[in-house]
Chain A
Amino acid sequence: MSRLAMTFRQLRQQGRKALIPYVTAGYPGVDITPALMHVLVEAGADVIELGVPFSDPSADGPTIQAASEYALRQGIGLPQVLDQVQRFRESDTTTPVVLMGYANPIERYDMLRQPGAFAADAAAAGVDGVLVVDYPPEVSGRLGAQLRRHDIELIFLLAPTSTERRIRQVAECAGGYVYCVAVNGITGTQALDLVQVRDTLARIRRHVHTPVGVGFGVRDASTARAVAKVADAVVIGSWLIERLAEKPAAEALAAASNLIREVRHQLDLDAPESGPDHLSKPEPSEPQDPSHV
């Protein structure tokens, strides 16, 4: 069973919801990412979405754009992101890592190497899922097949505007989890509308049987909790990135830890067995032994 499937199964058995932080690789420091990922896991993250910087992130709002531009200035591209995942895997072999980004860096990676090189190298680095923002189902067949060969899940977005036909199309090819965009818009700029989220989730769940995560617009812990009541996972991106902005490494790691702990706490208030064992994770010395296993 894949790390993603395992993680969602365990959470389901415990009646808990997945907390999925998003961070841009190479932000807020060129070498901070593996350490930041460990801190997120220690604070209660179940899956990590790692953003691959791109020069033209047209689905992202100003916060993630700025993080992306910063990382690009530090020379972070897809090969460096894979290195960072590999370094993270040296001391965490259980937490799923999902790369989130745009098509062009992936296509370029294969063009300069060989077809399927990205899928093979991502697998070797320990990547579990890939979400390509500008690869809708119609054009993702080839990458999907290459990733499947290496047991990497191709993850898709669905939106409030997605028609039933498109939801069915995604249901047929979605792996891991489906990422439900909570608002019509870009990352990080609007507060989400819970009524709309519920409606979208209901429409999605008629066809999609993988777990469904909700992101874009989760900007505080109580919203995260409210979303988690109706979804299987909550994705936190821009809100987290804003907390890291322009901070030196130690402060950024502390800020990330605090935010994720706060959200984890809120999410677990609704877990049926929310005893103290499930409210926090063990000390940083044992990153490979998540308490909720």
Chain B
Amino acid sequence: MTVYTVPTSVEVQPIVRAAGVHKSFGDKHILTGVDLEVDRGEVVVLVGPSGAGKTTFLRTLNRLESIDSGEIEVNGQRIGQRANPRGRLVELSPRDLAQQRADIGFVFQHFNLFPHMTVLENIWHAPVHVKHERKADAVGYARELLVRVGLADKADARPRSLSGGQQQRVAIARALAMRPALMLFDEPTSALDPEMVGEVLAVMRDLADAGMTMIVVSHEMGFTREVADRVIVMDDGRIIESGEPDQVFTAPRHERTRQFLSKVL
């Protein structure tokens, strides 16, 4: 049994479509033309050496990072931009952008739980204040999610009293509470002590089994091999290789992939 409700859709178009995405910070060219399509229900893991642009690319998908050129669509909507009547691209209003983001869950490396709220309030806060759900419903769902991530007894605790692994599981529950169509994970286990990595990966595996569309930046090769439908290898701001984990890990086509894998496997 699962309590995640993954929106079912008859649409066959990919849920994420990125084309020719470029992004620079100052004179540093971080993304040099990224193209990616992700289907509904797919679990995609982005790997690659640090500085390859994985995190930056992930952050462009819900426009925590703007892009210099290219195009990103999630759920058939261009993220953060719209065409004005003259056909020019203009920035979306903050309100419209917020609405787009509400459908995209994001899990941060450093959790970013709200320290001035209890664990339970962290989870129901956005559904009530952003989606205007009835509080009783939102609290009920928040409790279900806490059960699901194995922290039912921590509902009234403060985030800072939890371990890193527990905080990250709460952060996942907080993102799920918005019933997102897509979940993005930015190195969700990188800030954790080794003994806490497993509990977070277990929750993510569970989520993948439930059919959630997930894009994960991760260095956890075991998890990737087991859970990913597709591995994307990034290097120097672009995708250099993509395929099923077994194929990429055992028979990489690209020399850079081989070099990278020899260091992490």
Q: Do A and B come from one complex?
A: no
**Could you tell me which B residues sit within 8 Å of A by CB distance?**
none
The residues of A with any CB-CB pair to B shorter than 8 Å are: none
